[in-house]
Structure 1
Amino acid sequence: MSNGTVAAADHMDAMLGREGELVLVNGLQQPRIEVAAGTTERWRVVNTCASRFLDLELEGRPWQLLGYDGQALRAPQQRDSLLLAPGNRVDVLVSPSATGSTTLRSRGYDRGDMGMGMGGGMMGGSDDTSSDVTLAAVTVTPGPDASRAVPWRGPGVSARDLRRAQVDRSRTLTMTGGGMGMGMTEFGFDGRTFDPDRVDQELRLGTVEEWTITNTTTMDHPFHLHVWPMQIVGPEESAEPEWRDVVIVPANGQITVRVDVRNHPGRTVYHCHILDHEDLGMMGVVAAV
């Protein structure tokens, strides 16, 4: 608000997940970024938004993806866009060969409306709950000849590949809640809202677990497990290992991950990384023994 205070949110705002009207990059609104032609820069982009999904695009200029959430790919992959849920991060190479101007932007992404509207969002609003937004102006200045650029050679994947590992236990976690009117329920897992005194999942150290995370709501939810990274194994298996700290569970869909439960005994949590949803109870307690 103009007086510097945070605007109050009603229950419906929190159910949708507040995004706000201002998106900052390193604390600045639409800053200018300069890159020299013929050079290679490594960018680490972290989505620290409370609810907004970022579908990143450097208009007219592809980039090389090095990895998501700190897990390096075996080799860089060319991408035109990159989707980051709240909490996701990526490392990319930017290697412009010609001078000019472009923009770093996030394309509109429809993450759902919690069943609060009839095809047009709540009260007839837009379906694109994460709207198109310009993040920064990028200027490519004259630089050395492109032939002098040294290709980046990254490490191989250091995490253990669990796709062929023996699974010691399988379990299903169901994301529940939302809706409108008399059918509205609080967010939670398996029909229960968060209770810090309750252990929802008990894990045994030294085992591999397979979790199927099911989303019964009409909105995408980013799922985050503390302490242990998750390897995506379904619904389709990728050509090489895919590790995430945050996975997007699509509306009325599911995703399957494997977890290597090494080290870190004690209690931690898993939760939806839309912070309003976490605050409304979409979180559970894990105990590793």
Structure 2
Amino acid sequence: MTEIVDRPAAAGPLTGPNWGLTKFLDPLPVPPVLRPPRREQDMITIPMVPKRQRLHSQLPPTALWTYAGHFPGPTIEVRSGRQLRISWSNEITGEFPLVAVAGPVGDAPTSRPGRELDRPGYSIVDGVADLPAWTVVHLHGARTNAGNDGWAHNAGLRGTSQLAEYPNRQQAMPLWYHDHAMAITRFTVHTGLAGMYLIRDDEEDELGLPGGDLELPLILADRNLDTDPETGALTGQLLYKFPYVPNGPMIPFSGPFTLVNGVIWPHLDVPARWYRFRLLNAANERFFTLNLVDEDNVPRNDAVRLIGTDGGLLPAPARLPSGGLTVAPAERFDLLVDFSRFRGRKLKLRNADPRLGGVEPDVMEFRVDSREKPDPFELPEKLSRSYARIKHGSTLPEDHDHVWVALLLNASGHPEMWDLEQIDADPGGKGVIQLKDPAGGLKTFRVVGRVFDDTTGVFLDHGKWAVWNIVHVANGGPAHPFHIHLTEFQALFRRGFTTTFDPVAERTTTAIDGFTEIPLEKYEEGWKDTIIVNPGQWVGVAGQFSGGTGEFMYHCHILDHEDEGMMRPFVVHPPEVAKFHVHPGGGHHHDG
């Protein structure tokens, strides 16, 4: 029997600031937990259905698209090595539950609700309201065959099902599932199609970490809402605002309302003891730099320990960085918080990210019980016994591939992602990147593909390790959370440089040189599948490509960037097959 645990939010009066919504009024809801039945072949069906749900008790219900009637979707829990098959059934009816509006970026439209069509430069984005329920589910972080991975073009309409098989041959780690439909992922995820997926194993169990009601997901997101044109009151209607630069690019969505587990600015009553929080940034674009602060907004991060990342447990607990924990879209973190230090007090999770602008920085509130509570948990000195640090020249196999990717801004200011092919000499013209490798030698590359449907340029042998070199050559612009399907990786290095890339000439004018080593955060040495790449940085990550074969995707996980071209395919195939594969233009393979 599948166990479902559901704790809904409460209601309250319509009072207070922040566009009429009272902060910390509603209790934190916890998505239902779905534990598949223990049979030889675990098989479940999860329907995608429309649902009306209050995002705050002072709001009318919001029309959403959901997994199994919940936003966020149910938290799926599985055991490592136990296969699960899911039939993702598209049963969505009705109109697309989202209004999209474009407005000038200088007018700061993201910080206000309402579509504001009476203001200069604002207009409805044509075609969004007509979108059908066309969906395909990606289990983010899963090692599975490409046919189960949620290939963006393989979305299906209402009345169809996607049958996916997840072997779960992975260590304990937090995955998440979300829609991945080509060109409209930013919209479908925004309607509510996202949820958490936890893999458990014996190594994690033996640590005796806080569990049950003391282990909760914190799924962060941001939204904007429409207003009644006559009263100005919030209607609950999802509003997707595109800021744009005249004669320039659209700016990714960000909204004025921060949600945790589907509720705006909730609170959580906690006993004075240790808690475990499974943190996920499910926002389209918003970065969070999180601090635990007291009533005076003084950071109390000394009570927090970071114990895991996207790909599982760290070798030992780590303290938060001094300025707070920066969480990019799609990143997951496993946190322990000792509330016993704060009996009878209130604490807040607060966003100090400099990209926040004029948006409310508070995320949620914790209300600590004043009574002393016996707590048998003690913070362990060691966590993962199976963890091994990957290093060039020692634990990274000598026989590994290299993949090169450039992140950049084009002449119109729009971000692009190129996969690159190394060549012997500069052929002149556009699409060329050159750099002087600190390890020695001049490297010259030419672009193979710059949008998703260009020629596939990356082919990897199944079971082999690959070092991905992501070089952000833009002079300014946004940081990109870079996600690779199929693998967990470790960061090898982060290097700064001064770029020589000319967006008009679409090439480097001289070879990029003068690299400086930027120390990795301790948690960046953990297993990851998404990593932040800042402008003027070269980030190297190493992962093994096993557990599945076929054609996969890598992309920026800012969903607007992904939909607007920052996504490329790559192929993993058996090495015995690879030697017979004729690649376009005579073929190339990214060998080290």
Q: What residue number does 1:86 align with?
A: 329
**Match runs of 1:31-70 below 5 Å:** 31-37=266-272, 39-59=273-293, 60-62=299-301, 63-70=304-311
Partner in structure 2 of residue 102 of structure 1? 347
2:240–2:253 CA contact under 8 A, matched in 1: no
Render the CA deviation track for 1:18-53: whole Å, top value 9, x for unaligned: 11111101111111111212x111111100000000
Per mean C-alpha deviation after superposition, the further-off stretch among 13-22 and 219-228 is 13-22
Equivalent residue letter for 2:342 = A
Q: Which structure has the higher relative contact order (CA within 8 Å, separation 6+)?
A: 1
Question: 2:381 aligned with 1:151, yes or no?
Answer: no
Cα pair 2:326 2:353 within 8 Å, conserved: no
Q: What residue number does 2:66 align with?
A: none
Question: What is the CA-CA distance between 1:98 and the residue it aligns to?
Answer: 2.6
Secondary structure in structure 1 of the residue aligned to 2:342: coil
Name stretches of at least 5 consecutive residues in structure 1 with no aligned partner: 111-127
Q: Matched residue of 1:90: which SS?
A: strand
What amino acid is aligned across from residue 264 of structure 1 in structure 2?
G
- Change over 3 Å in CA distance of 1:197–1:213 after alignment to 2: closer
Per-residue deviation, 1:143: 3.3
Which residue does 1:280 correspond to in 2? 564
Indicate whether 1:142 and 2:370 are aligned.
yes
Contact 1:162–1:231 (8 Å) recurs in 2: yes
Change in 2 beyond 3 A, CA 1:82/1:248? same
CA offsets 1:159-197 (integer angstroms, 9 cap, x no match):
554322224222311012355xxx445623246432346
Q: Aligned-residue CA RMSD in angstroms?
A: 2.6
Q: 1:10 to 1:29 in 2, by over 3 A?
A: closer
- 1:239: how far off? 6.7
Alignment check: 8 A CA contact 1:108 1:132 kept: no
SS of 2:257's equivalent in the other structure is coil
Gaps of 5+ in 2: 1-225, 228-234, 294-298, 420-446, 495-518, 574-592
1:72 maps to 2:313:
yes
CA deviation after TM superposition for structure 1 residue 103, in Å = 1.0
Q: Aligned pair 1:228/2:463, yes or no? A: no
TM-score by length of 2: 0.42
> Hey, what's the Cα distance between the residues in 1 that align with 2:359 and 2:328?
14
Aligned residue in 1 for 2:397: 166
CA distance in 1, matches of 2:385, 2:453: 35
**Aligned counterpart for 1:16 among listed residues 233, 238, 251:** 251
In structure 2, the residue matched to 1:120 is: none
Q: Distance in 2 between matches of 1:33 and 1:244?
A: 29
Q: TM-score, normalised by structure 1?
A: 0.82
Say if 1:229 and 1:274 are closer, same or farther in 2 by CA, change over 3 A.
same
Sequence identity percentage:
25
- Give aligned pairs, total: 267
Q: CA deviation at 1:145?
A: 5.1
Contact 2:253-2:285 within 8 A present in 1 as well:
yes
Output aligned runs, 1:193-204, within 5 Å. Answer: 193-196=450-453, 198-204=455-461
Q: Cα 1:8–1:90, aligned 2, differ >3 Å: closer, same or farther? A: closer
**Offset from partner CA, 1:241-285 (integer Å, 9 cap, x none):** 422111000112121100111221101100001011111100110
Answer yes or no: is the 8 Å Cα contact 1:269–1:286 preserved in 2: yes
Q: Tell me which amino acid in the other structure corresponds to 1:188.
A: M
Tell me what 1:121 maps to.
Answer: none
Aligned to 1:124: none
Quote the residue 1:262 is aligned against.
546
Q: In 2, are the aligned partners of 1:40 and 1:149 still within 8 Å (CA)?
A: no
Partner-residue secondary structure (3-state), 1:288: strand
Q: Which structure's CA Rg is the greater one?
A: 2
